[in-house]
Structure 1
Amino acid sequence: MKPPGVGVHFTRVRMDTECTVANLARMEQALADAVATLMPGRDDLDVICYSCTSGSVVIGEERVIEELARARPGVKTTTLLTGVVAALRALAVRRIVVGTAYTDDINQHEREYLERQGFEVLGIEGLGLLTDQEMNRVTPEFLAAFAQEIDHPEADAIFLSCGALRSIDAIERVEWASGKPMVASNQASFWHCLRLAGIEDRLTGFGQLLREC
């Protein structure tokens, strides 16, 4: 998925075990410290992305970006959620269905955010998972079936939300079966980071977004 010459570096933001609104909100306090561990002492970092959809929703997109920028001034910053919105707009879709890993209270935050961005959410359904371990264990095959189950005839696109889900491996089969684009959290954020870094490569095997936008 990574084009030649592109380096991808990761760090972890401290978080309590369960994915709840309260625990997600507390991640704000750990953002700057986590960013400081990314390529310390180097000045060739192009883009930083906070890769947690639900955390971006609960903390607030602008607040997350402020914390990232405070830790690494001069570096382009984004969030996973920012990338999702940019991806949906690049695909020129307005009506969406959303599948998440989350509980209903987090889903409500996400629905309200997406509606404020101008999207019509025809439906949102969560798996009710609380830990990364549970989310990581969900198979791409299950996610492909889940995406098709929540689809709506009037939806322009299907969005599977959560950076801990292995949704990327489900994209091609969902798009083939539904005849419409599917956006996944990690796919969208990676696409957005590439474009922010000025990399315009079109990549096959990861859905319409990376192939055409």
Structure 2
Amino acid sequence: MATEAPPGAPRGSRDSLGWRKLFAVVAPSTNTSVQPEYDSMRPAGVTNHFARIAIPDTKVTDDASFMVMLENIRRATLEAVDVAMSMAPDDLIMGMSAETFWDGAEGAERMHRSLQERTGLKVVMGSQAVDAALKAYGGIRRIAVITPYMPVGDAQVRRYFEDCGYEVVALEGLKCPSPRLIAHVSEQELKRAVERVNDRHVDAIVQCGTNLAFARVAAIAEFWLEKPVIAINTATYWWALRSNGIADRIHGFGRLLADF
């Protein structure tokens, strides 16, 4: 059922369903996790509109083939961004992960600035959103990280977090065999990955890779471990909402959306 705009909202001047915010979301065509996870967090009056970065489902077996996949994403990203602009969104969310960590904090800022200049919109990226989420919890310095990547991607994730002032005390790359098959990693496998990277020296656990369906696992793990467990999709959508002044408390995805 459609939700009516609140009393006093301008009539006829806003999208009838997305009367609070229209988000354009750009994600790889092989990604089947980010859209359902974002939509499950969506408050009334906010709508998500996906444009796909057209890439093949290449086989990934090592660093070289991982870089082939990444180059496929890089070549097609701006075309997808331009397509997304045709629905006149309010903001742009990059529903992809690895490229937003590349070349550390400086590289992330460079990508962020370039996308803002191209679109004229506020741009939300996963790397910066996770940093904002860690800061929201407060007092976090030592983190453990889970990714679906090969070592070349893991090194870039480590560099980004170290640039931001965190100590990465454990990092596990799951070495997923293709971009599409990242979404086939089960919740049980993700639970075991959390167990492997966690110990008493870890202040928080972070997951990267938007096609890993980790939002529900993160919330459960955070409850049992009694420490922050941050899924990149949760952090990115949380930051998109909060940076727009949308403060709805959304339950079922951990403390980030419920408390901050």
Matched-pair contact (CA < 8 Å) for 1:107–1:126: yes
Q: Give the deviation of 1:90 after TM superposition.
A: 0.9
**Residues 185-196 of structure 1 aligned to structure 2 (within 5 Å):** 185-196=232-243
Matched-pair contact (CA < 8 Å) for 1:28–1:64: no
In structure 1, what is the Cα distance between the partners aligned to 2:190 and 2:234?
A: 14
**2:89 aligned with 1:32:** no
Corresponding pairs, count: 210
**2:93 aligned with 1:49:** yes
In structure 2, what is the Cα distance between the partners aligned to 1:173 and 1:196?
A: 26
Which residue in the other structure is 2:247 paired with? Answer: 200
Compared with structure 1, are the counterparts of its residues 4 and 114 closer, same or farther at alpha carbon in structure 2 (3 Å cutoff)? Answer: same
CA-atom RMSD in angstroms = 1.8
Gaps spanning 5+ residues in structure 2: where?
1-40
Matched-pair contact (CA < 8 Å) for 1:25–1:58: no
Q: Over alpha carbons, which structure has the higher Rg?
A: 2
For 1:52, the aligned partner's letter is M
Range that drifts further, 114-123 or 63-72: 63-72
**2:137 aligned with 1:91:** yes
TM-score, normalised relative to structure 1? 0.90
Q: Deviations over 1:102-126 (max 9, x none)?
A: 1112111110110010111111011
Give the secondary-structure state (helix, strand or coil) at the position aligned to 1:210. helix
Gaps spanning 5+ residues in structure 1: where?
none
For 2:74, the aligned partner's letter is E
Identity of aligned residues (%): 30
Compared with structure 1, are the counterparts of its residues 133 and 26 closer, same or farther at alpha carbon in structure 2 (3 Å cutoff)? Answer: closer
Q: Give the deviation of 1:56 after TM superposition.
A: 1.1
Compared with structure 1, are the counterparts of its residues 112 and 91 closer, same or farther at alpha carbon in structure 2 (3 Å cutoff)? Answer: same
**2:110 aligned with 1:63:** yes
**Residues 1-213 of structure 1 aligned to structure 2 (within 5 Å):** 1-16=41-56, 17=58, 18=60, 20-25=66-71, 27-40=73-86, 42=88, 45-58=89-102, 60-73=107-120, 75-92=121-138, 93-213=140-260
Q: Give the deviation of 1:145 after TM superposition.
A: 2.4
Matched-pair contact (CA < 8 Å) for 1:33–1:71: no
